[in-house]
Structure 1
Amino acid sequence: MTTLGAVYLPQFPPERLRSVATAADQAGLEELWLWEDCFLQGGIATMAAALAWTERVRVGMGLLPVPLRNVAATAMEVAALDRYFPGRACVGIGHGVQDWMGQVGARVESPVTLLREYADALRALLSGERVTVKGRYVSLDGVRLDWPPPATPPIFAGGIGPRSLRLCGEIADGTIVTGGSSPDDLRRVRALVDEGRDRRATGAGDPHTIVVYVHAATGPTAAQRLAAERARWGYDSMEGRAIAGDAERFAEAIAGWVAAGADTVVLQPTVDEPDPEGFVRFVGEEVRPLVP
């Protein structure tokens, strides 16, 4: 069964998150995804708030930029969220936008090396292990969480280049694929992720969830808003990158990404979406029943 979600963009005011999260929860939406884009809204704070205001919707973070956080601090936060809200927090990690990482003095020479070291240490900490490691970027000396999760939660990762996508398949339980990826793009991503999965020392046959963001708009101004989104992201065209129209059109288009390998399709509204609460209700109440 395909999982369906929506994004609460960090460009929306923080004080509006509560009404959108509760609308998603009430509409039966399965997942609400948040972003930690610099310098908008903090990822862990927004996740905790959204989870506390809701009862059943899973809340994803895609992605936490690892150069900004010591891995022990991230493990403490993720463990706390998992114990407060069992099974409802989905945390993804990634390189972060390199220009932003440079602005805060956190840019590293090898983002791929950092992400590998970070993911390995994070998984070990969340598994309750006492971790001692001295890598190129990650260094821990006998660190163990006093309150690890009862079971190790899944770790998602994201990237864009081939090396990063192979690494996601190797180190993570799921890969988050950026918006603007067509079904054909997704097939190429899935192939690279699968190459990484083949490299795993253990658990190569374990399930690996592919989460893809898809630009989406509905209502009378949908076409105009997606045109503005095209310019904002610098796409040559929105053909195959976005969905516009009614619920039937959404369901038909979503099937294309599912056929290309998506397990979870997360609909990404435009930054000028006039009704974020209405958008998540539309996805949960009208689109969800049409998607197998």
Structure 2
Amino acid sequence: MRVVEVTAYGGPEVLRMARRPEPEAGDEPGKVRVRLKAVGVNQADLRIRAGEYAGVVGDLKPPFVLGTDFAGTLLDPVPGMAEGTRVAGFVPWYEELTGHGTYAEVILADPAWLAPIPDDVEFTVAASVPLASLTAQQGLDRLRLPEGSTLLVTGASGVVGRLAVQYAAAAGLRVVAVAHEGDERELNVLGAAHVVERGTPEEVVARVVEGDPERVDAVFDGSFTGGALLPVLKDDGVFVALVPGQEPAGERNIRVEPVRARPDAAQLTETLKKVANRELITRVADVLPLESAAEAHRRAEAGRRPGRIVLLI
């Protein structure tokens, strides 16, 4: 089967098409085969490829296959889903650390990762959802905020941030979003009560405090800004950090919650239903063929492409 391998740490040019044996039923006990149709390109993929997480992945060295989000069809039945069922999910790449990601034609997946895709949701849309939606939901779950609390969402123009804004607003939180200039109207429609423009951490803190002099109850750090945002929090506030190992040290009794999303089939199933019913808005920025993975990384690194870039297989 065709895969895209990281042949060495470096720029997008290190991504190369290769051939590997296609997995067979029973190769890994407890896992089933999924023939992929679409896979998402995540920011973590770019950082892994560039070698930024070389210390985190331990003994795993190139060549390996990137990729977490996927959508495809079951090749082996699982309880409640027959062969041929359209499914989506994400591979917990860091936890597995096998180097077998989703930039491939067929993967082995734990049934606990798999959610059925509603009939009117395209593979490309389904592939844009799993990791981002579960990161947003599970991060917000860790906040444990009462209704009416004020939450600052950084990176609100990004895939995870846009979903966090929607989930938080639906939970009755007052959302202040940090976003690119020009995204204010859309984020207001998605549920943000107030939108401030991106800038240096100091500029963001000043802009937020100008509108909320008493400061905010919690921060969902979708832009990986880190500890420089702590001044925007009230005493006893909560800070959700999305890069475990790089979370800031707490102060003023601020609770810091590192979050790395875990697969949750039930949660993802409900999310995909909301996408189908237009209750949750996601966005695909670009669709490129698998063999154009390097170009997909170039576009993702160039930034300011609202939505997930998806590879079509």
TM-score range relative to shorter protein: under 0.3
Considering fraction of residues, name the structure with more helix.
1
> TM-score with structure 1 length normalisation?
0.27
Considering fraction of residues, name the structure with more strand.
2
> TM-score with structure 2 length normalisation?
0.26
Higher CA-based Rg: 2
